[in-house]
Chain A
Amino acid sequence: MAIQKRVLLVEGINDLHVIKNLLIAHGIEGQIEIRDKQGISNILATLKTEVDANQDFLGIVVDANSSLDSRWQSLIDRLKDKEIGYAKVPAEPVENGLILKGQGFLPKLGIWVMPNNKLVGKIENFIRLLVAEEKENLWLIVEKVVSEIPAEEKLFADKDIIKAQVHTFLAWQDEPGRPMGESITRRYFQTDAPEALNFVEWIRKLFELA
């Protein structure tokens, strides 16, 4: 049997590092090529090239930045487009992550919408779900502090409040300000939190890893 190709496409460099480190923690990183596509529009624009180039497995992790449904819709529209041609694509996101069997020459394909296929959010919302129990208190303090920034000092948009929270949280650890991806395996996060396990399970099923 020839070596199988397992490719995971992500929206940004932070997503790449977080997922990579999570998979390292679960011992399955080496078999998957994770690629930073620099945004959803590029994922959509180059999907045909990716599908044509990959015969075995293709995973896609996207953010649900604004509306979960519209993000989903743009992706499945592209998958169903006759240029690519997946059939039986569900109309709604799937709770444990979508997995479509390979059809004809199309690779087996999976989609995970960050953070958990239910909530609107992005990689930082996913990280939030991994905060260790004993650090919950610290997280609540972070939320409070960030929310109390006076309006004239608050430069970030409301939609980015989760980013401000995560980076504040990281700034208050024993080694302040380590990047997200690397931090995920430190003890203030749990790589075996339920949401992390769900994601890893999706990866295992999609890429057929034991």
Chain B
Amino acid sequence: MPTTTVEEIEKVETSKSKKSELLLDSLEIKGYRCFKHLTIEKLGRVNLIVGKNNVGKTALLEAISIYINRGNVQNLIHFLETRNEAQRSIEQSSNRSVLIDLSFKTLFTSNSETSHNTKDLSIKGNVNTNAETLLLSFPELRSKDGKLTDIARKLSETSKMFSEDEGAVIEIKYIKEKSGEFDLEYYNVLNNSLFVEKKKLVNFPNVFIKVESLRNNELLILWDDTNKNNLIEYAINAMQLLKGSIKDISFIGVPSGSNNLIPHVGIVGKPTKLPLRRFGDGMTRLLGLSLALSSCRNGILFIDEIETGLHYSILPDVWKLIFKTARDLNVQVFATTHSYDCIEAFAQAAIDDEKSDGMLIRLARKDEQIKAFTFDEKQLETITKEHIEVR
């Protein structure tokens, strides 16, 4: 019987993954933060989101992450906390759940005072070419005749801390439009508990890299994952963009009393391994990026302000690496940037890599409206050739 190597399987897999087989190929967001209604009809494999300050670049990453994690509550709370929104009313109450209750509404309600009634958040996408919708809402707890609704009854039976206050319960529903399959959960913000009505669907692997570089322990988790899948080569290739003589990477404990394992690299011709941080922030960023890429196989990677810590001169190589790895490992990438150098490097890499599927997404705001403009490879070619500035 002929044996098939891992490499051969990979080749078959990647040649089959045509552009239409992206994990997520279109998106419609209603009622998330600044987005009253945002439609992106066509996504690419590697997507770079640009736009002026305060047009919702990070919010778009968040919305996609919330969607792809199917409304996972911990993920929602995490996004509130990273924006310091969970601490908004800390002086009024030391009760953490109340804080979360208050701040959840800031996720849903659009900034505008006038749209006070839109408290539902819906994100609809095409996942593996099938329409799937995530719906977050505050369910009715009492019907018109004054009786508790079914769900309110269930929640009040299962939890002593049930409250009818507006915003105390969030309904999380994820629907596969075609088959009708769905997940349905209720989150009680007062006691931080989840009432699971129905939960079957499996999540996709995904990692969110924020502006701050990943911490050592976060890197370690990704490294373990990457190591397990024999993909460390990708990380080493990435770091060689900054320093060609790096030959391996390992996590080593230090005798300083801290039980953290610290990333170290081996250098050609040097007998001892050196701590990664010695080579600057860019190196740590690059390691995080490449480890995250390889642990998001068949999933999605989010990178906020991708240019952070990276000198503009290596951006073309960074993008080249991302395009190649994303294709090899079937990862869909969503990144944001403020840097025009970064946009130029992205466009050039997208053109150079003929099999790539890059999409530049420009968010623009007019008054309360936010709109997404997409630039596919053909348009990216025009942009690069004629030096059209998109930002």
Contact = CB atoms under 8 A, between A and B. Distances in A.
Interface of A: 2, 5, 33, 35, 37, 46, 48-50, 52-53, 55, 104-105
A122 B364 CA distance: 36
The DSSP consensus for interface residues of chain B is: mixed
19 contacts: A2-B53, A5-B389, A33-B389, A35-B386, A46-B386, A49-B379, A49-B383, A52-B362, A52-B373, A52-B375, A52-B390, A53-B373, A53-B375, A53-B388, A53-B390, A104-B369, A105-B366, A105-B369, A105-B371
Nearest to B51: A55
Contacts of B373: 52-53, 105
Given A104-B366, A105-B366, A105-B371, A49 B382 contact: yes
B183 to A, nearest CB: 36
Interface string B34-77: 00000000000000000011000000000000000000000000
A18 B58 CA distance: 43
Contacts, number: 38
Contacts of A55: 364
A50 B366 CA distance: 18
Contacts of B386: 35, 37, 46
B369 to A, nearest CB: 8
Contacts of B200: none
A2 B52 contact: yes
Interface residues of B, number: 17
B387 interface: yes
A184 to B, nearest CB: 24
A2 to B, nearest CB: 6
A81 to B, nearest CB: 16
B330 to A, nearest CB: 29
Contacts of A35: 386-388
B389 A53 contact: yes
B370 to A, nearest CB: 10
A104 B194 CA distance: 43
Interface string B354-391: 00000000101010010101010001001100111110
Contact of B388 (A2, A50, A105): A50
Given A2-B52, A49-B382, A105 B364 contact: yes
Return the 7 tightest CB-CB contacts between A and B, nearest first.
A52-B373, A53-B390, A49-B379, A46-B382, A53-B388, A49-B382, A105-B371
Nearest to A106: B366
A33 B388 CA distance: 10
Contacts of B383: 49, 53
A49 B364 contact: no
B362 A53 contact: yes
A53 B53 CA distance: 16
Contacts of B53: 2
Q: By CB atoms of chain B within 10 A, which of A2, A37, A48, A105 has the most?
A: A105
B311 to A, nearest CB: 24
A53 B373 CA distance: 8
Contacts of B366: 104-105
Contacts of B382: 46, 49
A52 B391 CA distance: 11
Contacts of A46: 382, 386, 388
A50 B388 CA distance: 7
Contacts of B364: 55, 105
A49 to B, nearest CB: 5
A85 to B, nearest CB: 12
